[in-house]
Amino acid sequence: MPQTIGVVGLGYVGLTLTAALADKGYTVHGADVSHHVLDTLSQGRSHIFEPGVEDIFASRINSGIHVGESLPNNTVDVAVISVSTPVDEQTRRPNLANLAAAARSVAATCAPGTLVVVRSTVPVGTSRKVVLPELRAAWGDDVKLVMAPERTIQGQALRELVELPQVVGGLDDASLQAGLEFFGGLANTVVPVSDLETAELVKLSNNCHTDLIYSFGNEIALIAEQHGLDPLEVIKAANVDYPRPDLSKPGYVGGGCLSKDPYIMLDSAGDYTPFLVGQARALNEYLPKHVAEIVVRLLREIRGETRGLRLAVLGWAYKGWPPTDDMRGTPIATMMPIFSAAGITVTGHDPMVTAEVVRQYGGDPVSLDKAFTDSDAVLVINDHPDYRAVDVNAMLGDARPALIFDSWRILDADAVRAAGIRYAGLGLVAA
């Protein structure tokens, strides 16, 4: 059983895996090129919010966990590559330079025959076409390589790394058996698949399916909006005791995976042009723009003019539950240019996001109570528990907003309307 593990790339995927492995008793060496990341982790602190991770680092740094710019020479039994594979904002093509560099680094610092695990999300065929050549150039044929995709949800990663089945595909039988042995020491269940490419497609299939089912809920909301219907009533009635898969509620779909992986899936399609994946992503990316335009339109109807108005935006991270400070794929990034063009001043609040980050995205930080008493409108973007717990009547003062757009329908709509405030939500804009 391997005892010393190397993790190359200490972003969300590598960081949580490092913590989970250390918690199982492994010695873990983490490598990253970011000095900020290394400085933070070396102090036993985490640069990313994830429940439980900082506690593990604080108790094990420089004992069970070691961090540096590269892995120690000829030390680890397993080297896990978990670097980012970003998608170009213009071309939407995946950039695999980080992955190739990580593979070269592993080949240079690890002994031939070290088990190498690709954990990054990649187009189908990448482990074989990009990682394998780098290893063989240094090690010849003495290569063990598996692809084992990360599939956790933020806020529950440490639990899911153990409880979710770990899918493992190998270059050959020896690689697969080594991969199954390694992940068998971490997870309750391991699922072997035929090859590297099958494992790569598993990850893309999971995330693109999630993007797709969320997009259908959003489609229902946009159609309901055209008819003055309540999409939540439609969806709830459709789901009651109906023996087919439940319809998803409408909502924003962001984050590091769902905003990127559909483009990696499209890049994997070869000569086939997918019908669904790209359209689902386009719809989910359209939703924040649509909401911003609706908010501007409603304010113009109510106030007659939008310039100089103040809009309080609650929830800047891409999601509120499980709570996160992750801004990747956040709706506010798409919305801000629309609000700015309308001359609206945006204030911002998020229990997880710092005032500095709110300013970076163009907002002025505001307290939760001021959001309701010093704004012309309030826009709730995510469903953090603090927002679910809001007592509208207690929050409102003599000066009150003219509009509350409750994207997740978590506020007391009757109390909002009783206070003389226009209430709206995704797909629900009728007066």
Structure tokens, 144: 């063990």
Which pLDDT tens digit goes with each residue over 82-119?
999 999 989 999 999 999 999 999 999 999 999 999 99
List the CATH code of the domain at 209-431: 3.40.50.720
pLDDT, averaged across the chain:
97
Contacts of residue 280, Cβ cutoff 8 Å, sequence gap at least 6: 208, 211, 212, 214, 215, 216, 262
Q: What is the pLDDT of residue 431?
A: 59
The SS3 assignment for 430 reads coil
Which are the contacts of 88, defined by CB distance < 8 A and separation ≥ 6? 94, 95
Region class of 230: left (phi > 0), else alpha (psi between -120 and 50), else beta: beta
Q: How many CA atoms lie within 13 A of 392 on its CB side?
A: 21
CATH class of 4-199: alpha beta
Work out the average pLDDT over 72-89: 96
Statement: residue 200 has pLDDT above 70: yes
User: Quick check: do 4-199 and 209-431 share a fold?
Assistant: yes
3-state secondary structure of 164: coil
Q: In the prediction, which pLDDT does 430 show?
A: 75
pLDDT at residue 134 greater than cutoff 80: yes
Torsion (CA) 353, 358, 363, 366 in degrees, nearest 10: 50
pLDDT (tens digit per residue) in 145-182: 999 999 999 999 999 999 999 999 999 999 999 999 99
Mean pLDDT of 223-244: 96
Domain residue extents for the chain: 4-199, 209-431
pLDDT digits 0-9 by tens, 344-378: 999 999 999 999 999 999 999 999 999 999 999 99
What is the pLDDT at residue 1? 63
